[in-house]
Amino acid sequence: MSYLVFARKWRPQSFEEVLSQDHVTITLKNAIDTDRIGHAYLLTGPRGVGKTTTARIFAKALNCEKGPTSKPCQKCDSCRNITSGNHLDVREIDGASNRGIDQIRDLRERARYATASGKYKIYIIDEVHMLTNEAFNALLKILEEPPESVVFIFATTQPRKVPDTILSRCQRFDFRRIPVSDMSKYLKKEAASEGISLDGAALSLICRASGGSMRDALSLMDQLVSYSGNDINGTEVAKLLGMVESDLLYEITSGILAGNTSRAIDHVSNALAEGYSVDELLDALVVFLRNLLLVATGAEDSLSEVPESESRLLLKLSENLPDIAVLNILRILSSATIEVKRSNLPRITLETAVMTASKLSRVFSIDELPPVAEKAVERHRQTGNETSPEEEKESMEADCSLEEKEQSPVKASENNGIIEDTAESVEDAEEDSADDKDDEEKEKETSRKILGLFDAV
């Protein structure tokens, strides 16, 4: 038997086998069962999510010798011919290469003839948005008065390019991207039935690379089996796809979060030594942090696109993690993605960003700052004991006006950037116990900065 690529070998043959598009398949099945079959259907959605597959199954359901039935028998001549693409009454047309008026005129003529053997004459036009305006006009004529037994099924990734006059004559079905959880379960099961083993990291990378397109995922599987045989692991997938493994991203991120700059930088060096480019690593890191932010803010439902193995790592990292901390790190690294593209020394830009981000993780110990601030204020009171009541009043008034000032958002964001300075100034202020005016000013400045910092956080 000749070699069949997975996308063909595993192509769903019945409505029940179509993955993650129940909202479409159930409606189509009901339409067949209640004998409410329309003349034109428009299937829209991203590539590789089952549009043409569903169109073929629909054709089979209509023309099965036991049909129309929502459960085509798969055994009769009609079912088998449709599966192999040889049914005389089911024509598949690629809109991209048959986009002119002549082809559509020809189609219009043929559609008027009686069916060869099936009950319905079915035209599946893929990428229908590629047709020219003239071709659409010719198509419109036939849609306005369709012959009794003709059914059109249009598929497109860009429904906005289809004229309204056509759209209004079609029943429209929107296909969705295949959620990572469904895709990964499906791939694992199908691969196991072929004796192919996939570890969690490999599955996660394939799903991430496919962007929700099953066709892309299956093409990757073909490539991977040729590359590494029947035992596919994450390291090999990462190498082949130039994708950074979640474990590596986890290590770098946890180094940054722990304020452990050397650990974070070591893992960056390891990743670069393994052959990832600076761009690839940084992009992957930004996506990973974005997902971490979703977990940290509690929007875990939005993580349906993240493979299970990765969400486990994200949950582990997000324990007791303030979302503002992730947001700050994400800001630093995403601005680095732009700098890296301009820089002659992208590696240094990346390393600097990672260092800055890991230094910023000190912001987590913000809880420890209030006592320091109180101490500074307390000491200010003690050293200022000899001040006259008038002076004290004056300084209190000054404090009040400062508070008002610092509540403005602009001030708050400015303070974000001077966390380091603040920490140092606190230490400086503690070291010098001299009670001259300069020092008092310094301490006042410090408490102002710290107060502003709380507003920011």
Interface with Zn ion (CB under 5 A), residue from 7, 19, 37, 73: 73
Residue 134 CB partners (closer than 8 Å, separation 6+):
100, 101
Contact in structure between 296 and 322 (CB atoms under 8 Å): yes
Token pair of 352 as six digits = 């600097």
Return the residues of window 162-201 that contact Zn ion according to CB under 5 A: none
Residues in contact with Zn ion, total (CB under 5 A)? Answer: 5
Q: How far is the CB of 81 from Zn ion (least distance, A)?
A: 10
- Of 151 and 214, nearer to Zn ion (C-beta) is 151
Told to check if 76 binds Zn ion by CB under 5 A, we report yes
Q: How far is the CB of 83 from Zn ion (least distance, A)?
A: 10
Told to check if 64 binds Zn ion by CB under 5 A, we report yes
Token pair of 28 as six digits = 């189509």
Q: Are β-strands 121-126 and 90-94 bridged in parallel, bridged antiparallel, or unpaired?
A: parallel
Which residue pairs, CB below 8 angstroms and at least 24 apart, start in 341-345?
341/279
Classify each residue of 172-182 as buried b or exposed e, where b means 16 or more C-beta atoms within 10 Å of its C-beta. ebebebbbbbe
Supply the DSSP symbol for 114: P
- Of 79 and 281, nearer to Zn ion (C-beta) is 79
Q: How far is the CB of 117 from Zn ion (least distance, A)?
A: 12
Told to check if 340 binds Zn ion by CB under 5 A, we report no
Contact in structure between 92 and 153 (CB atoms under 8 Å): no
Among 427, 251, 191, residue whose Cα is nearest residue 450? 427
- Of 67 and 234, nearer to Zn ion (C-beta) is 67
- Of 64 and 354, nearer to Zn ion (C-beta) is 64
- Choose the stretch contacting Zn ion; rule: CB under 5 A; options: 61-69, 153-161, 221-229, 440-448: 61-69
Residue in the structure block whose two tokens are 């949950």? 315
- Of 72 and 255, nearer to Zn ion (C-beta) is 72
Q: How far is the CB of 138 from Zn ion (least distance, A)?
A: 33
Return the residues of window 133-162 that contact Zn ion according to CB under 5 A: none
- Choose the stretch contacting Zn ion; rule: CB under 5 A; options: 5-13, 68-76, 90-98, 170-178: 68-76
Interface with Zn ion (CB under 5 A), residue from 18, 40, 79, 138: 79
Contact in structure between 63 and 90 (CB atoms under 8 Å): yes
- Of 64 and 162, nearer to Zn ion (C-beta) is 64
Residue 197 DSSP SS3 = strand
- Of 68 and 212, nearer to Zn ion (C-beta) is 68
Contact in structure between 102 and 139 (CB atoms under 8 Å): no
End-to-end CA distance of the chain: 65
- Choose the stretch contacting Zn ion; rule: CB under 5 A; options: 66-74, 94-102, 231-239, 264-272: 66-74
Contact in structure between 242 and 220 (CB atoms under 8 Å): no
- The number of residues making up the chain comes to 457
- Choose the stretch contacting Zn ion; rule: CB under 5 A; options: 56-64, 104-112, 251-259, 270-278: 56-64
Token pair of 115 as six digits = 């069916």
- Of 14 and 334, nearer to Zn ion (C-beta) is 14
Told to check if 69 binds Zn ion by CB under 5 A, we report no
Contact letters (x/-) for Zn ion, 16-55, by CB under 5 A?
A: ----------------------------------------
Residue 238 DSSP SS3 = helix
The CA-atom distances, in angstroms, between 54 and each of 26, 28, 283, 387 are: 11, 9, 35, 85
Residue 14 CB partners (closer than 8 Å, separation 6+):
57, 71, 72, 74
- Of 45 and 72, nearer to Zn ion (C-beta) is 72
- Choose the stretch contacting Zn ion; rule: CB under 5 A; options: 79-87, 107-115, 357-365, 410-418: 79-87
- Choose the stretch contacting Zn ion; rule: CB under 5 A; options: 71-79, 93-101, 112-120, 270-278: 71-79
- Choose the stretch contacting Zn ion; rule: CB under 5 A; options: 7-15, 35-43, 77-85, 269-277: 77-85
Told to check if 350 binds Zn ion by CB under 5 A, we report no
Q: How far is the CB of 76 from Zn ion (least distance, A)?
A: 3
CA 413, 414, 415, 417 dihedral sign is positive
Binding positions for Zn ion, rule: CB under 5 A: 64, 72-73, 76, 79
